[in-house]
Every structure is written in C-alpha cells, then in structure tokens.
Structure 1
C-alpha cells in the first residue's frame, strides 16, 4: 500500500472498532466500525496476497489471491453457522458467488475495456470455468427441487454427500489445472502488451507472508464482531437477512477481490483477473459452501444445502450471463456493463423481496 493515509486510517478504524465492541452497546455503531475496519484489512489481505503471488507465479498467484480473498467470506460463514444463522449464511454464499461473477468480473472487464478495445484470456480456462459453474448450479438446484418436503435428517445426509462430491471435484480441478494441464491453462490469448509484468512487490517474501497472516487474523476477529451485530442492525433498519447477506456482507467480504482483479485488468492481465473473479465464485460454491456444512456438524448445527428459489434463480442468472460473455475468451467494456446491469437488477429484486 503506497498511499500514506492507508495505514493511519487502518490503525484508527481498528482501534475504534475495538473500543466500540467493549465500551458501547450501540449495535449499528459496532457494525459500521467493524465493517469499515474489515474492508481495510481485506484490502491489505489482498495486497499481501498479490505480493506472495509474485513469488509463486501468475496462475498459482491468482488462485492464492482468490483463496485468501475468500478468507473473509469463509470466516464470516463459520461464525454465522456457529450462531445458527443459516438463512444469513446461505444468502452470503449466494451473494459472494453473484458478487464475484457480476460485480468483480463486471468492474474488471469494464475498466480494462476502457483502456484496451478488446481483451483476451485463455478460452480453455473459460470453457472449464463455465462447466464448473454449471455443476455448482446443479448442486444448489437439486436439494432445493427434491428435498424441501423430506425429513431434516435425510436433507442433511444428502447435503453431506453433495458437499463431499463438490469438495472432491474442486480438489481434482486444482490437480487438473495446476499439474496435468498447467501449461495449457497458463498460456494467455492476449496479443496486447502486459503492463508492469516485472513490477517488484512492495515487500519481501517473508514480510509478505507475515502481513498475510496478520491480515487474516484481523479479518477473522472483525468478521466475528460483524456477525454479532448484523442481525440487530438488519432488524433495526428493516432490511431482510436475504438482502443483508447477499449484498451487504458479500460486498464487504469481496473487498480484496475487487481491488486486485480491477488493477490486474487495467494492466491487461485479464487471465489473472478472471482467475480471481470466476475462480473465487467456484471456490465459494465448490469448497466454502461444502466446508460450512461440515463446520455445522462440528458445532452441532444442522446446516444443509437447501437454498430458496430466489437464491437459485440469482445464481442461475449470474452463471448464464457470465458464461455467455466469457465463453469466447474475449471481452470489451460493454460486456462489463452487461454484467453490472444484471447485478443491479438482482440487487433491486432482493431488496424488495426482503
């Protein structure tokens, strides 16, 4: 972070959040300070991940950025499950998926397209991403369509089986993309010069890892505080759990991906930007959501994968438009606008439904 105001603001907001948690009972103040502090720590988390990614390589770097960018969503989800707020955690899962597919990818494609008339990325990667997102839609649709009227124990058993299958599929995808077909998926289709490809990271490797660890710790702490306040705040301002989880919490949790993906797209590193945005959605649907089912078992909470019809429609719509735009391996700024349009439409519908 080269901006001089960032670190003083980070310290001030963190201290303010800590004081609010222990010395006031005003829930909206606790929530607001925790949210702003979490945004700043998520941004530092994203920057430190970028620095670590420099030493790990482009493809693995994109995966690391998506993984640690999703740390906030996973940690928030764990605390939501622990509190038994299943509707909120499901909404946040859906919000993270559509937020990455529509908002993060849309902003990346839009700002990158303003600088380059056409940006290209690996079409083979785009094809596999599309197939994996369709698998995620199927995995979310099947429980909602078949299990709503079944006994809770049967629903939980099927959710555990689906979660295990998704996690196995995700790890096999990592093996496929990082080992057996690494070269094919690493090759870029771009014929434009990539900017700042040799730009040195702000920190050394071990300093980057240390900052990454500290950022993850503070993201975890601020996430727990955020969760403790969110339900009271949602009720106080009249917003539904569906809207708060799918949009407010998801936007806060996606802060790291936003900044990293947009900056990479502006530098014409669209392969890495797509890896962060789409790869993050895949990680949420194929890994984070299943993990939360097993986390529920650890806490004695019966977290299942039965999502409501609004959430299923939202993920299906996001997957459809994102697949339609990315399948040819080329984008322009107007396609970014299309993604953002769908995000706004879904946001308005979720707000009214609540």
Structure 2
C-alpha cells in the first residue's frame, strides 16, 4: 500500500504533461495508467471502509456505481465523436470482463488463500436471472434487424432502441427497490463483517468520490492515447473497444473485487462483479441511448460476436456460482474462458 501512495505523484505529473507540456498521446497513455493504479487502490480501501457501515450489498453497489461512472464518462465523449461501435463494444466488453475476468480473478485469489469460500446463494440466483434478462434484452433488437426490410431501420429502429432502453432502465429501478426495500432480508444474511472501520464514514465517502473523479479524468487522458499505442502494435479498434477500454476504465472495480475476495468477503466481490455488469446493461447502456439523442441517435444493436461473448459469459458464470461456493479452480475456468474470448476478438 505504501508503494501505491508513492505512485500518487503521477497524478499531478500527468496534469502538467497534458495541460502545460502537451506531450504526445503515447506518453499520456503511460502516465495515466500509472495514475489509475493508486487511485484504484484508494477506491478499494474506501469501499471496504463503507462496507463496515453499510454492509456488503451497499458497499458493492457503491463501488460498482462509482466504477461505472468512469465508463459512462468515457462513452459520453465517444458518443460526441460518433464512435458508436467503440461505445457498444466497450459496453459488451465491460460485462464480459466483469463476469469472466473480475469474478474469475476474485475466485482464484480468494480460493488460493481460503480454499473454499461461501456466498449468499439467493442473491446470486436473483442476479443470474437479471443477467439472463439483460442479455435477452440485447439479443432481441439484434435479431429484429435480420427480419425486417433494411430500409425501415432508419425510420423505425430508433424508436425500438428507445423502447428497449426504457424497459431495461425500468427493470433496473425495480431491481433496486427489490434489493433495498421489499426483499432486503435476502441481502442481509451475509452481513457479517470482521474487524472495525479505520475511517469515518464521511472520510471514506469523500475519498471515494474524489478518487472516482480523478479516475474519470485520467481515463480520458489514457483513452486519448490508446489509438497511438495500438496503431504501433497493430491492434484493431474492435479489440481496443471490447478488451482494452473496459479493463482500463474499470480498473478500480477489478482490484477492489480481488481484494475483497482475498479478505474472504465474497459477497462484496460478487456484488461488484455481477452487480456492475447489471448496471452496465440495465443502466449505463439505456442512459447512453438517451444521451445519444442529443447528438446522433445510437441504436442498441450489438453485433454477433459481442452477443456470443455475452451469452457465453453469463452461462459459464451461472454454472460456477449456482452452488453458493467458490474455489480457485472455478476462478481458473472463468479466466480461461475470458482468454479464449479475448483471443477470438484479437484475430477479428
């Protein structure tokens, strides 16, 4: 942790490099990446402190929300530039990364330290059904495009995207009512925290908010240099959108979930990984559809490769988490699927 605190020096350095020295995008990419690492550590520590006061459900929800704020900001600027394919691939990549990479790394790290870990099975069942609904919500518009006259898409498909976005956002709001009010007893079963908080609640929230704002700014610096870095490495924009941007934009969530698993707090780790995926599909994606109306309307159609990746991720995640227990081998399985998916997108 001391090393991470020393790395905070890269934050002012990156600001000076961007606004004073106007260095090349490639250098900004490196400086921003070095800045995000300690900020991710601060977000993880702040979220852990908040969970002492609020329990794992709200702690994980806050981390997912603040982590996805970065994704939303990055996508908003991409929308202004008309980069719809990058926006949609980053949405799909965030979900795939959270379910396979983050959850897999958490189960692996936690399993190596604690052998077998348990979590609230009822919560996972609710989240799994929501994930299946979310994926169906993304698949139906894509199938629709193959069954209608292409000339109708320009005049009618915008309306379909808006309707789907409204339905998905409504389901998200209802899921919050379900988990925080009408069925909150389901989520309090595992509300057993060891140890005590080192920070006050006010301090923890303040640090989380400040770190999130800085992560969003640094992510913008980093994204501006991705094209320069990847062009020299020969990577496709599709690979950048679905693999690199989600990993970079959600770095805080990734590290926090792994840390929570190593502390044997799998309920928080699952809430971060699966809850964040639900937020991306049911909240971030619809909001981006509405925001695109301010510029050029964006459809909610995902291509076949993205949909296949989403379906595979949801199915394998349901399979390894339906027994209420996890171990390091299940983590390896999730990571293996992610590597296969990433390799497939790499060669496209």
Same fold at TM > 0.5: yes
> Which of residues 120, 123, 130 in structure 2 aligns to 1:122?
120
Q: Is the 8 A contact 1:166 1:290 kept in 2?
A: yes
- How many residues align? The count is 343
> Which of residues 180, 194, 199 in structure 1 aligns to 2:196?
199
Q: Is the 8 A contact 1:101 1:322 kept in 2?
A: yes
Q: Is the 8 A contact 2:130 2:278 kept in 1?
A: yes
Q: What does residue 260 of structure 2 align with?
A: 264
TM-score by length of 2: 0.92
SS of residue paired to 1:151: helix
Moved over 6 A (4+): none
d(CA) in 1 for partners of 2:155, 2:166: 17
TM-score by length of 1: 0.91
Q: Is the 8 A contact 2:40 2:252 kept in 1?
A: yes
d(CA) in 1 for partners of 2:131, 2:4: 36
Q: Is the 8 A contact 2:43 2:207 kept in 1?
A: yes
Task: Please list every run of 5 or more consecutive structure 1 residues that lacks an aligned counterpart in the other structure.
Answer: none
Call closer, same or farther: CA 1:77–1:39 in 2, change over 3 Å: farther
Q: Is the 8 A contact 2:4 2:41 kept in 1?
A: no
Call closer, same or farther: CA 1:205–1:188 in 2, change over 3 Å: closer
Q: Is the 8 A contact 1:80 1:89 kept in 2?
A: yes
Deviations 1:294-329 (A, max 9, x none): 12123x122221111111111111011001111222
**2:218 counterpart of 1:216:** no
Alignment of 1:92-107 (within 5 A): 92-107=90-105
Task: Please list every run of 5 or more consecutive structure 2 residues that lacks an aligned counterpart in the other structure.
Answer: none
Q: CA RMSD in A?
A: 1.9
Q: Is the 8 A contact 1:42 1:253 kept in 2?
A: no
d(CA) in 2 for partners of 1:253, 1:224: 9
> Which of residues 139, 142, 153 in structure 1 aligns to 2:140?
142
SS of residue paired to 2:2: coil
Q: Is the 8 A contact 1:42 1:69 kept in 2?
A: no
